[in-house]
Every structure is written in structure tokens, then in C-alpha cells.
Amino acid sequence: MENMWAPWRMEYILSQKEHKGCVFCLEDWGGELTQKDSERLVVYKGKHCFVMLNRYPYAAGHLMVIPYRHVMDITDLAEEERSDFMELVNISCKALRKVCRCDGINMGINLGKAAGAGIADHLHGHLVPRWEGDSQFIAVVADVRLIPERLETMQKTFALAFKEIME
């Protein structure tokens, strides 16, 4: 049997887990990123939505676009929220290409548990970078995903990329 080295997992395993409310709801909307935002892996805060790294990514750089307002369905968003949501999807694609130098991007929104939403009560869209020849064979063979960089490092890199794109 082959061993895989994933030192960041022990930090998660030993951490105290509190489940108070929605994991996506932020206390302060818009403005500059706070230390708490960075710890939650938020990389950009827009007017009506924000972007964060997925804590359990399918690939390195897996981003999510999330409205501040706690809604379950894209049809529940007001026009300005939908517009901001799509603008952040657009900017996230630019950031993924800049940071990850990916060849493609999978995008998706799962509406409801039956559609595969892990967190069905707060709308969020996924953007997953992909590369030519990236077959993710290890996920099929060993039920393991390889993430080559710490999430905290990626948060800083993406926050800087978003800042540069928005200037």
C-alpha cells in the first residue's frame, strides 16, 4: 500500500468544529477583506456577492461565487444580485487563468440536494480549473484528490490576483 502525505488534514481533524448557522453567511458585506474573511478563505468581496476558495476542493484553485443574501435559488436573486453574481463569475475566470494558468474551467450551480448541492440552503456557484491531460486518475483509482498548495497560501495569491484584476 502506498502512503500519501497530506499534513494539512491533521489540522482539520484536530480542530474544534462549530456549526453555528450558515457556513457561507458573512457578518460584514463588501469593503476590504478582514482577517476573519481571509481565515474563511474569502478572496474578494463585491457589492452583492463574494468569492471564496472551496475548503474541500475538486482541484487546486476551486472557487465559489456566493451572494451575501441567504437565498436558496438563483431565481430568488434580485436583478442587481444576479448581475453581480455573473460579473464575479467572469472575474473569477480571469483570476483562475492568471493564478492557475488553467486550460479550461468547469462551472456549475447545483440547485437543491437532489441536484448535488452539498449546502443547498445558500446559493453558490463553482468554478473548477482544469488542465489539458488532467484526467484526475488518482481520484478514480484511489479516491484521493491531490491539492499541491495550502489553502491559506492560495487565499493570499487569489486575493492579490482579484485586487490586480479590479484595478
Query: Do 124 and 76 touch, CB atoms closer than 8 A?
Result: no
* Closest of 158, 143, 157, 126 to residue 57, by C-alpha: 126
Provide the grid cell at 34.
478582514
Closest CA to 65 of 21, 113, 105: 105
Q: What is the C-alpha separation between 78 and 142, in angstroms, rounded?
A: 43
Nearest-angstrom CA–CA distance, 163 and 157: 10
Q: Is 124 a catalytic residue?
A: yes
What letter represents residue 44's amino acid? Y
The residue assigned the cell 478514480 is 140
d(CA 38, CA 33): 7
CA-to-CA distance for 159 and 52, rounded, in angstroms?
A: 9
Catalytic residue among 19, 48, 70, 124: 124
Question: So which residues are the catalytic ones?
Answer: 124
